[in-house]
Structure 1
Amino acid sequence: MTPIVIKTIQFFLSLSLLIVLHELGHFIPAKLFKTRVEKFYLFFDVKFSLFKKKIGETVYGIGWLPLGGYVKISGMIDESMDKEQMQQEPKPWEFRSKPAWQRLIIMLGGVTVNFILAVVIFIGLVFTYGEQYIANDSLKDGIWVTDKALGDELGIQTGDRILTIDGEEVDALSQIMPGLLLGNQFTVERNGQVLEKQVPIDVIETLSDNKDKSRALISFRWPFVINDIPKNSPNIDSGLQKGDAVVQLAGTSVEYKDQVTPILEANKGKEVPIKVMRNGNPIDFTVSITDKGTLGVVLGMTPEEYKEKGYLEQRTLTYSFWESIPAGWNKGVKTLSDYIKGMKKIFNPDTGAYKEVGGFAAIGGMFPDTWNWPAFWATTAFISIILAFMNILPIPALDGGHVMFLLYEMVTGRKPSDKFLEYAQMIGFFILIALLLFANGNDLYKWLFK
């Protein structure tokens, strides 16, 4: 199967699971409080359904429009806009007849299930696979900033040690890029000095405009240690061997790939002297540089060799079942906290982050090109967090809108009129359509012009 097909299958599988469980979050407390549920649908059934079956008082079905799902609860002003039912006298089994606290629990059920589901997935992932990461404090000579111009805009350089972001210590190399995207300030150790720096306010826009360069902007510094010499390499008979560590090229002392690359670029198509360390001994000979500015070799070391030679350490955290519970909870809370930080950036026009808002294509693109269960579940957990947050926003037509009006009722003792709720529902619906068009319009724009 092609990558796009694999991504699409994963997207719909994940979306279906999340929608069904979200709606169960409303359905179960509704049934517990003896509230009638007329419909339970995966996707929307505008005009017709792909499948439906009535069991008891509820019609279960699958719609054809994959924009979400819903449960239709009797006596509730929702997306069905069933005005006829609302004009009749309230029945004991209807939503509007239940105490406010019961209605609040019913409305909070969906987002609660989404967050709990994410935590459960994170618990399963850390228990089953543990956590692997490159320890930030183990990087021998700091980070490699793969594009100098872009790094300068962000205030980071090759060799920097990023110590903290927004006052929190950076434990893993993989935390640096997300931290800079969402953070406001960071401390860096550079040439023996600790500097306090501000994250540029338009960091997200800058990286978005330079996607090809920013995709792997921050990495560990690759030691120029040869792992393989392909048969078609111009240096197959030069004397280079697997395990050689290049320490000098064209008369310049080097250790890392970032130091070697500019020398190769400056000497394309030439023969230059090279010095390598082999079994602790220096060896000199001559190598050919291709017209593309390469030596025609493959670099790389095993994790054990990186650690043994002091370049970096890849650590693995393993968890017992009981240890995985707080670890999964903390991961869920951290993911939600980071997403809220990202939303704050989006609502600040100066950041330009609104340009990165995406719709279904962006969500589908989060899944891997190949079938990978850990990646699938991690992405599903993240989307579940997104759904929880988006649904609790105080926008009429979303769960958060209903919660907002219920809290008003509980505080003031006055229930908003049905007519007011109808108008609020329509306004909320138009807001959602506008957001949907904006997000998916962004996807279309990026596809067409970027």
Structure 2
Amino acid sequence: MDTLVMAAQLLLGLSILVGLHELGHLLAAKMFGMKVEKFSIGFPPKIVGFKWGETEYSIGAIPLGGFVKISGMVDESLDKEQMDSEPQPWEFRSKPAWQRLIVMLGGIFVNVVTGILIFIFLVYDRGETYYSRDQVLEHGIAAYEIAEQIGLQDGDKILDISGQKYESVNDLSSGDALLSSGGYYTVERDGERIQVPIPRGFINSFSNEESMSKFISIRFPFEVSAVGPGTGAEKAGLSAGDRILALNGQSIKYFDQLQKGLKDKEGQSVSLLVGRDGNTLTKEVEVSEESTIGIGVNNLLEPVRKKYTLAQSIPLGTERAFGVVIVNARALGKMFTGEVSAKNVSGPIGMAQIYGKTWDWTKFWSITGLISMILAFMNLLPIPALDGGHVMFLLYEMVSGKAPSDRFLENAQKIGMVILLMIMVFAIGNDILKFFTTS
């Protein structure tokens, strides 16, 4: 069932984005009087379709993209017969270069607008919920495995990132922070101010969503919210509302202290000092093989909650949408220098895992908006067979006044398709490798 939920979200998200992308090309082409022969979401073989006017609309069996076939255009169909015939006034090749440029940018434009609108809607509808810098300075952080590797410690109070103050605890693991060159965290520890360098290529430590849980979180006070049946906590008589004050004589204030206090205690009993209704009790509790005692907890630290008007949401949502593009452009650039590992490239399996095993509409639209912006950015890359490749050749034509030959465009298209196929095989291979190494 988990796999079906992930696959369904991926298929729905891609279908929406690919459909809108190809619709951008179709509408721009029809606006300039070009004949659009086919519009497809997904690649052949065709599952279902119908013809409306001059255009055949269909859904393909391979849901990893889509296409619009415009008459007189050298595209992935490589229709040599049509290109060898006399140009017709309704064909792509018969139109001025500036019109053809707009057609090729139509899909990218629609994806950018879609991504911006999704981010604006999410900001307006959901607002923001986060733990602030002030709360980090009051309570400190819990430093997990990845944080400890670079020198962060439990209780550290992070003052800034590379000299710049931050707003939310989420900023500490943002792309801007992890991709910084020569970056550092300024930390207050035991009354001293120190710098913890962010290593070159540190972002490679965050290959999946689970790895984020191994970095840092804000420390939070807690109380017991529920006790699992048959667990050590139930046998010891713990109940909802209890506050755990100490473990084996060591003071406990934050949940991460309890987690780390139970580590390596599997199969043993621990002594807990428990606060209940103004009294303190001592409980001997058995620890499970998973280093847990079988309780759920309530986080007693109230996050900051902000709501925005539509007028405020428009610039903030737009900034976030383009922020995604900037971070991915920086990551791509650092991939060529070797600072960011190419193993971070994900294919359809990795994208499905990002959506997650539960259907959460807020998360669904957040991921879909992010993919929409990335899809626009990737399509703008000057690779033949992508929109950016066509744009590159059209700009050359507009500057030089001379169009590349059809034979050159056909060969470029073939090379581009090979490049894209290699990238797809590499991405799927990464997905499979990650699946087996993390499962």
TM-score (structure 1 length as normaliser) = 0.86
The Cα shift of 1:231 comes to: 6.1
- 1:15-34 alignment runs, 5 A limit: 15-34=14-33
Q: Work out the CA distance in 2 between the residues paired with 1:295 and 1:53.
A: 60
- Which residue number corresponds to residue 76 of structure 2? 79
Give SS of 2:9's match: helix
Q: Structure 1 residues 287 and 328, CA, compared in 2 at 3 Å: closer, same or farther?
A: same
The Cα shift of 1:214 comes to: 4.9
Contact 1:145 1:217 in 2 (8 A): yes
- Which residue number corresponds to residue 375 of structure 2? 387
- 1:38-437 alignment runs, 5 A limit: 38-45=37-44, 48-139=45-136, 140-147=138-145, 150-165=146-161, 168-179=164-175, 180-184=177-181, 185-191=183-189, 192-208=191-207, 214-223=212-221, 225-229=223-227, 232=230, 234=232, 242-265=240-263, 269-270=268-269, 272=271, 274=273, 276=275, 279=278, 284-292=280-288, 294=292, 296-301=294-299, 305-306=300-301, 313-351=302-340, 353-437=341-425
Q: Deviations over 1:396-439 (max 9, x none)?
A: 01000011111112222222122211111111111011101100
Q: Structure 1 residues 84 and 233, CA, compared in 2 at 3 Å: closer, same or farther?
A: closer
Contact 2:225 2:298 in 1 (8 A): yes
Q: Work out the CA distance in 2 between the residues paired with 1:41 and 1:272.
A: 65
> Which piece of structure 1 moves more, 182-191 or 164-173?
164-173
Q: Structure 1 residues 376 and 285, CA, compared in 2 at 3 Å: closer, same or farther?
A: closer
TM-score (structure 2 length as normaliser) = 0.88
The Cα shift of 1:193 comes to: 3.7
Q: Work out the CA distance in 2 between the residues paired with 1:119 and 1:290.
A: 52
Q: Work out the CA distance in 1 between the residues paired with 2:37 and 2:57.
A: 9
The Cα shift of 1:141 comes to: 2.3
Q: Work out the CA distance in 1 between the residues paired with 2:332 and 2:82.
A: 38
Q: Work out the CA distance in 1 between the residues paired with 2:66 and 2:210.
A: 36
Q: Structure 1 residues 164 and 104, CA, compared in 2 at 3 Å: closer, same or farther?
A: farther
Identity of aligned residues (%): 41
Q: Work out the CA distance in 2 between the residues paired with 1:266 and 1:329.
A: 47
Q: Deviations over 1:70-95 (max 9, x none)?
A: 11111111111112222223222211
The code of the aligned residue for 1:421 comes to L
Q: Work out the CA distance in 2 between the residues paired with 1:232 and 1:92.
A: 78
Q: Structure 1 residues 230 and 448, CA, compared in 2 at 3 Å: closer, same or farther?
A: closer
Q: Size of the alignment, in residue pairs?
A: 431
Give SS of 1:342's match: helix
The code of the aligned residue for 2:334 comes to K
Q: Structure 1 residues 400 and 255, CA, compared in 2 at 3 Å: closer, same or farther?
A: same
Q: Which segments of 5 or more consecutive residues in structure 1 lack a partner in the other structure?
A: 307-312
Q: Work out the CA distance in 2 between the residues paired with 1:169 and 1:189.
A: 12
The Cα shift of 1:211 comes to: 8.0
Q: Work out the CA distance in 1 between the residues paired with 2:409 and 2:319.
A: 37
Give SS of 2:142's match: strand
The Cα shift of 1:178 comes to: 2.9
